[in-house]
Amino acid sequence: MPSVPTTVLCHLPDGYLRLGELEGLFPGVKFVRVPTSGPVPPGVSGEVLVTVAGPSDNLVDLLGRGVRWVHCTGHGVDHLPLGAFGDRLVTCSRGVSAEAIAEWVMAMILAWAKRLPGTWVDEPPEEWFLTRLDRLAEATVALVGLGSINLAVAERLVPFRCRILAVRRTPGSSPLPEVEVVASPAAAVAEADHLVLAAPLTPTTYHLVDDDLLDAAKPGIHLVNVARGALVDQEALRRALDEGRVGRASLDVADPEPLPEGHWLYEHPRVLFSPHVSWAGPGYLRRVADMFAENLERWLAGRPLEGLVDLEAGY
């Protein structure tokens, strides 16, 4: 461990990263709590900054306090001022919530295939024994993005014997042999019964799902978005939903967030909307803290960090 103690600036809500435990694990490291907004006290400096994924009015000030490595406790980094990081190392908590989000995606896909909650009844129905339900076996699921989240989705789809297509930015085959990589989103949606968005928000992916892509989609496609609301042109989605070209949109994200009262996404009969909670589950904050602790060990030992962000690519 370095002779001069490493200082970690903790730009976090109270209790967020189990700092008491970290202080016990790293007695040679100085953890300094800094305000999440407003003026930074004079004299505050440190080599490491750990911060949340949201925007902040004092983050750029903190970067100038000797910071050489920034760790973001979230997965996505599109809310951070990436252009201000210069040559600093930036890492994120990539993969920490992948399993929980993948389970949410599976719940939405199964709910649409089995027409839930529409097939529940609270009085005698007009007809017993007959209805139209789909199945996942032999259904086609298109994945936009093939990072930790959609890989976890694909692993859960394989036992259902789905056909799985994927679009990814980087060339090459899929890490899973059951996943077929296709050339473009348009090629994927043409045959897809379900479309799952788990790609980062960058200038390239902004409004990726627009009128053109929805026109190219298989009629009645089910859209699932667990990434960022701005991946979808919401007015284009509204038109497609109204016309029945999209059968259902299961959305955990929207643009903007929080979504204002009275927004059409709250009320549309073909939309299931939740307030950005697909990541939630037991032990989440523990896993976030464990990932940072692992990277802090690597930093102190001079080893490569995990979860590095490509500042040029934006994720």
Q: Which amino acid is at 120?
A: W
Catalytic (active site) residue 207: no
152 token code pair: 């976890």
141 token code pair: 């699921």
Give the whole-angstrom CA distance, residue 183 versus residue 242.
Answer: 29
CA 288 to chain centre: 14
Q: One of 11, 94, 194, 228 is an active-site residue; which one?
A: 228
Q: One of 238, 276, 287, 298 is an active-site residue; which one?
A: 276
Could you tell me what percentage of the chain is helix, strand and coil, using 3-state DSSP and rounding each to the nearest 5?
30, 15, 55
Catalytic (active site) residue 267: no
Q: One of 178, 235, 257, 294 is an active-site residue; which one?
A: 257
Q: Could you give the angle at which helices 148-157 and 98-113 cross, rounded to 10 degrees?
A: 50
Catalytic (active site) residue 306: no
Residues with Cβ < 8 Å from 162, sequence gap 6 or more?
Answer: 136, 137, 138, 139, 140, 141
Which positions are annotated as active-site residues?
Answer: 228, 257, 276
